């Protein structure tokens, strides 16, 4: 007899909006999903991806059992968990003892839960003794982390989703919210319908679906954002639309910035950005005269060799107008992945430590080491994603553990990544779906539990922590990520620190959360008042939420004090610098990559649902009609798209949403689908000097017709 139907409240596993979902199941199988009307992120709404969650995750694609190979030329064979983890512990221990702790590395994911992140961080930094742990969040928001920290003193988005509904003027920069954060965009659409006087400005080289809502779309030339923001500030100063009292009371560094933006005249900026002076003037006027001004941004700003400067230049506009810390106002970066924020909080970028600490800060290292009961954390800096795979490529890293991410598709300059993974002596891949490109390179494949099958917490873009609940057991032998990590760590401990009490004695995910949260006490993100029980009683909460608090914090910096040394926010005066790869005759087009409405990342989950191919069936290159005419191409022709790093063969289509001289390609298809290594065979590994985030949205490319035999 079938089990009775049950409902478990959890969250969606895709984007950083962090919608609440009600999972309908029979205790064994997930039967359906609905939006959770009580969740403050979505109030019952779901987008096309969230509402089809129960149709994804085909069991044929899932990892069933650990698979191990004992030589690169051998096939992987099924093995048990004990033998898999024992073998791996001995390989890691031998590598560490022979080559040092920095000869191993961990590359993890914004899809993991906070408890998973914490376990990995403790494993790498406390037990192995390396800061070589980085996350795929390096590819999506590390520039925002740097932007917030340099300008405001802490990595804390100061706004709430409700501010989107309250704002009088919204600036959406480098974000196709309509596709990437659909439920939040729906909230904005409804707010604009209620308050048509609200101004929406979209800055994007492409005319995306988000532009449908815009009162003004500035299709700037790719990579010119810093010049645009300085040009806006130039006009705000000229017109007297700045808040001098706020600048004097709460900020530092304005004089240098004022001096810098003097040169960013409307004529100069219109020329650099490829927009009209009238459009620039309207943009500045709406920002300068709005009672409240909010900006939203995502990958278009962050994925750039000038990502940190772009973030700072945008935050400058808020500080100059006093538009921060009040309803409907503030600089609000949107996170791409469901728990990228949790990664930032737990220290899951190589330069961070748990509780928004810095790995390069001796005091911070000592605090964490003391809390973990170890002598010290290492001083040697860790490697960021691109640097880390460079080190794999040149043989410095000899054992690599990859969890819940697919670098063989998602990192730029794919040919080099595939070479690195081929040559790495020992690669562990911990994955729910054994179909990803990266699994191909694994010496050990470990089956991980997936959405609906494990418990923990996530933090969404507005600093809101939700309790993620398990509805059904993981299939076959799959296990939760934190459990795999801790089990491995306990085995490695017996080899690296025999006889000492275990650092990984966690019976469940809640025990990890309880240990972790005290590392945030009296830090800017203080989570010490939260617990699974409190989240169950009060629902999802925004940090900071210190012990004894009655509720979370909707907005930060309302008192004008900032967590900097002086207590003042910092203006940063950095000039505009052009993107790394300029257009030239051999590569006359600038390639931009991005998301489609119904697919998620490398499609390991969304690619299993036929319904999600109704919007776009496959990868096509979008080119302006002038570019097609120039090359005597017609819609649907097969072309070779090439950059300095590699090439792909795919169809081209007429796309007047991109300007002449530009090309657009979705990021979702890897070499499972494309002739070539996938979209990122073309993209470049150059990265921002501060955030180390690569320039995934800007590559010089050229297109040639493919003559069919
Ligand atoms: Fe999931 Fe994001 Fe869609 Fe919400 S908006 S249902 S979190 S993909």
Model ipTM value: 1.00
Nearest ligand 1 atom to alpha carbon 13: 1
Which residues are 333's β-sheet partners?
Answer: 297
**Residues for the chain: how many in total?**
709
Q: What is the dihedral of CA 221, 223, 225, 226, to 10 degrees?
A: -130
Predicted confidence at residue 672, as pLDDT, reads 67
Residue among 139, 187, 118 at smallest CA distance from 510: 118
Which tokens go with 317? 């506009």
Helices (H), 240-339: 244-250, 254-261, 266-273, 277-289, 299-302, 307-321
Residue 45 CA to residue 679 CA, distance in Å, equals: 32
Q: Check the CA dihedral 241-245-250-255 and report its sign.
A: positive
What residues line ligand 1, using a CB cutoff of 6 Å?
A: 12, 14-15, 17-19, 42, 46-47, 49-50, 181-183
Residue 9 CB neighbour total at 10 angstroms: 18
User: For strand 30-35 and strand 20-25, is the pairing parallel, antiparallel, or unpaired?
Assistant: antiparallel
Residue among 473, 407, 477, 475 at smallest CA distance from 442: 407
Question: Helix or strand or coil: residue 425?
Answer: coil
Nearest ligand 1 atom to alpha carbon 50: 6
- Which residues, in sequence order, are CB contacts of 427 under 8 Å at separation 6+? 399, 400, 402, 421, 441, 442, 443, 444
Residue 512 CB neighbour total at 10 angstroms: 27
Which residues are 297's β-sheet partners?
Answer: 173, 333
- Strands, DSSP E only, in 513-587? 541-542, 569-570
Residues of the chain with pLDDT under 70: 1-2, 672-676, 709
| CATH of range 6-55; options 3.20.20.70, 3.30.200.210, 3.30.70.580, 3.90.1010.10 | 3.30.200.210
Q: How many CA atoms lie within 13 A of 182 on its CB side?
A: 16
Residue 591 CA to residue 598 CA, distance in Å, equals: 21
Residue among 27, 70, 19, 83 at smallest CA distance from 488: 83
Residue 409 CA to residue 678 CA, distance in Å, equals: 7
CA of 109 to the centre of ligand 1 (A): 18
**Ligand 1 pocket test: which of 20, 41, 161, 181 has the largest number of ligand atoms within 8 Å of its C-beta?**
181
Greatest pairwise CA separation for the chain in angstroms: 76
Q: Which CATH architecture has domain 142-334?
A: 3-Layer(aba) Sandwich (3.40)
The answer to whether the beta carbons of residues 476 and 65 sit under 8 Å apart is yes
The answer to whether the beta carbons of residues 433 and 409 sit under 8 Å apart is no
CA of 22 to the centre of ligand 1 (A): 13
Predicted confidence at residue 2, as pLDDT, reads 63
**Ligand 1 pocket test: which of 11, 37, 42 has the largest number of ligand atoms within 8 Å of its C-beta?**
42
- Cis check for the bond before 486: say yes or no (omega within 30 of 0): no
Which tokens go with 146? 């740097």
CA of 595 to the centre of ligand 1 (A): 14
Q: Tell which phi-psi region holds residue 389, choosing left (phi > 0), alpha (psi between -120 and 50) or beta.
A: alpha
Nearest ligand 1 atom to alpha carbon 41: 4
Long-range own/partner contacts, residues 560-566 (CB < 8 A, 24 or more apart): 560/246, 560/249, 560/250, 560/325, 561/250, 562/152, 562/153, 562/154, 562/250, 563/152, 563/153, 563/154, 563/524, 564/152, 564/153, 565/153, 566/252
Question: Helix or strand or coil: residue 223?
Answer: coil
The answer to whether the beta carbons of residues 35 and 41 sit under 8 Å apart is no
- Cis check for the bond before 18: say yes or no (omega within 30 of 0): no
pTM: 0.97
CA of 18 to the centre of ligand 1 (A): 6
The answer to whether the beta carbons of residues 460 and 16 sit under 8 Å apart is yes
Residue nearest to atom 6 of ligand 1 (CA): 50
Residue 581 CA to residue 560 CA, distance in Å, equals: 40
**Ligand 1 pocket test: which of 46, 54, 177, 609 has the largest number of ligand atoms within 8 Å of its C-beta?**
46
**Ligand 1 pocket test: which of 11, 16, 17 has the largest number of ligand atoms within 8 Å of its C-beta?**
17
CA of 384 to the centre of ligand 1 (A): 28
- Which residues, in sequence order, are CB contacts of 422 under 8 Å at separation 6+? 441
Q: Check the CA dihedral 461-685-203-325 and report its sign.
A: positive
Helix axes 114-121, 481-496, angle to 10 degrees: 10
Predicted confidence at residue 322, as pLDDT, reads 98
- Which residues, in sequence order, are CB contacts of 223 under 8 Å at separation 6+? 304, 306, 578, 579, 698
CATH fold for domain 589-705: Barwin-like endoglucanases (2.40.40)
Which helix (H) or strand (E) segment holds residue 628: the answer is: helix 625-630
Q: Which CATH architecture has domain 67-135+347-542?
A: 3-Layer(aba) Sandwich (3.40)
The answer to whether the beta carbons of residues 213 and 176 sit under 8 Å apart is no
Residue 19 CA to residue 41 CA, distance in Å, equals: 5
CA of 520 to the centre of ligand 1 (A): 28
Which residues are 446's β-sheet partners?
Answer: 430
Which tokens go with 151? 């300008």
Question: Helix or strand or coil: residue 262?
Answer: coil
Residue ranges covered by each domain of the chain: 6-55, 67-135+347-542, 142-334, 589-705
Predicted confidence at residue 673, as pLDDT, reads 66
Q: Is 524 exposed, middle or buried (0-12, 13-18, 19+ CB in 10 A)?
A: middle
The answer to whether the beta carbons of residues 668 and 619 sit under 8 Å apart is yes
Residue 552 CA to residue 543 CA, distance in Å, equals: 6
- Which residues, in sequence order, are CB contacts of 120 under 8 Å at separation 6+? 106, 108, 112, 133, 348, 403, 485
Q: Tell which phi-psi region holds residue 535, choosing left (phi > 0), alpha (psi between -120 and 50) or beta.
A: alpha
- What letters, b where the CB count within 10 A reaches 16 and e where it falls short, cover 294-326? bbbbbbbbbbbbbbbbbbbbbbbbbbbbbbbbb
């Amino acid at each position: 007899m079938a089990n009775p139907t049950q409902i478990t409240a959890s969250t969606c596993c895709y984007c950083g909006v962090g919608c609440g979902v009600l999972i309908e199941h029979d205790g064994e199988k997930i039967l359906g999903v609905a939006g959770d009307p009580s969740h403050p992120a979505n109030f019952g709404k779901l987008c096309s991806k969230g509402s089809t969650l129960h149709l994804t995750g085909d069991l044929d694609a899932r990892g069933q059992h650990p698979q191990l190979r004992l030589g690169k030329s051998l096939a992987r064979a099924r093995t048990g968990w004990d033998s898999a983890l024992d073998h791996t512990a001995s390989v890691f221990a031998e590598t560490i003892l022979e080559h040092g702790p920095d000869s191993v590395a961990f590359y993890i994911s914004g899809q993991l839960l906070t408890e998973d992140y914490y376990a990995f961080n403790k494993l790498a930094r406390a037990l192995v003794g390396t800061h070589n742990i980085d996350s795929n969040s390096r590819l999506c928001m590390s520039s925002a982390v740097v932007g917030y920290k340099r300008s405001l003193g802490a990595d804390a988005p100061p706004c709430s989703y409700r501010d989107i509904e309250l704002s009088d003027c919204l600036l959406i920069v480098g974000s196709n919210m309509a596709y990437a954060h659909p439920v939040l965009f729906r909230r904005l659409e409804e707010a604009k319908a209620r308050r048509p006087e609200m101004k929406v400005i979209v800055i994007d080289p492409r005319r995306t679906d988000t532009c449908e809502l815009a009162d003004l779309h500035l299709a700037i030339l790719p990579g010119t954002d810093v010049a645009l923001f300085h040009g806006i500030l130039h006009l705000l100063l000229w017109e007297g639309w700045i808040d001098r009292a706020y600048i004097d009371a709460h900020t530092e560094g304005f004089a240098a910035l004022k001096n810098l933006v003097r040169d960013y005249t409307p004529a100069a900026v219109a020329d650099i950005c490829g927009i009209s002076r009238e459009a620039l003037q309207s943009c500045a006027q709406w920002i300068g005269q709005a009672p409240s001004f909010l900006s939203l941004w995502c990958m278009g700003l962050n994925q750039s060799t000038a990502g940190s400067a772009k973030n700072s230049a945008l935050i400058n506009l808020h500080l100059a107008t006093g538009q921060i810390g009040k309803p409907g106002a503030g600089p609000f970066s949107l996170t791409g992945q469901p728990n990228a924020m949790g990664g930032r909080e737990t220290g899951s970028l190589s330069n961070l430590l748990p509780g928004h600490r810095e790995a390069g800060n001796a005091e911070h290292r000592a605090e964490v080491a003391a809390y973990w009961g170890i002598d010290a954390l290492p001083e040697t800096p860790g490697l960021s994603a691109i640097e880390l795979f460079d080190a794999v490529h040149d043989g410095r890293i000899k054992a690599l553990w990859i969890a819940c991410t697919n670098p063989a598709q998602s990192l730029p300059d794919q040919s080099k990544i595939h070479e690195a993974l081929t040559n790495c002596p020992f690669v562990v891949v911990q994955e729910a779906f054994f179909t990803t490109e990266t699994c191909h390179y694994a010496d050990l494949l470990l089956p991980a539990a997936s959405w609906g099958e494990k418990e923990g917490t996530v933090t969404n873009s507005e600093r809101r922590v939700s309790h993620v609940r398990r509805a059904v057991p993981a299939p076959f032998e799959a296990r939760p990520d934190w459990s795999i990590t801790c089990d491995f760590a306990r085995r490695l401990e017996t080899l690296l620190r025999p006889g000492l009490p275990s650092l990984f004695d966690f019976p469940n995910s809640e025990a990890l959360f309880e240990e972790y949260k005290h590392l945030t006490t009296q830090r800017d993100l203080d989570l010490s008042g939260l617990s699974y029980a409190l989240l169950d009683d009060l629902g999802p909460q925004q940090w900071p939420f210190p012990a004894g608090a009655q509720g979370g914090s909707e907005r930060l910096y309302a008192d004008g004090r900032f967590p900097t040394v002086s207590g003042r926010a910092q203006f940063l005066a950095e000039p505009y610098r052009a993107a790394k790869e300029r257009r030239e005759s051999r590569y006359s087009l600038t390639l931009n990559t991005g998301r489609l409405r119904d697919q998620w990342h490398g499609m390991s989950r969304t690619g299993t649902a036929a319904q999600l191919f109704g919007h776009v069936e496959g990868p096509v290159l979008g080119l302006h009609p002038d570019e097609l005419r120039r090359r005597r191409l017609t819609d649907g022709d097969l072309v070779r798209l090439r950059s300095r790093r590699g090439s792909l063969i795919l169809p081209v289509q007429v796309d007047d949403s991109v300007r002449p001289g530009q090309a657009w390609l979705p990021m979702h298809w890897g070499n499972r689908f494309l002739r070539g290594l996938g979209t990122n065979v073309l993209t470049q590994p150059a990265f921002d000097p501060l955030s180390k985030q690569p320039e995934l949205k800007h590559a010089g490319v050229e297109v040639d017709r493919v003559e069919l035999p």
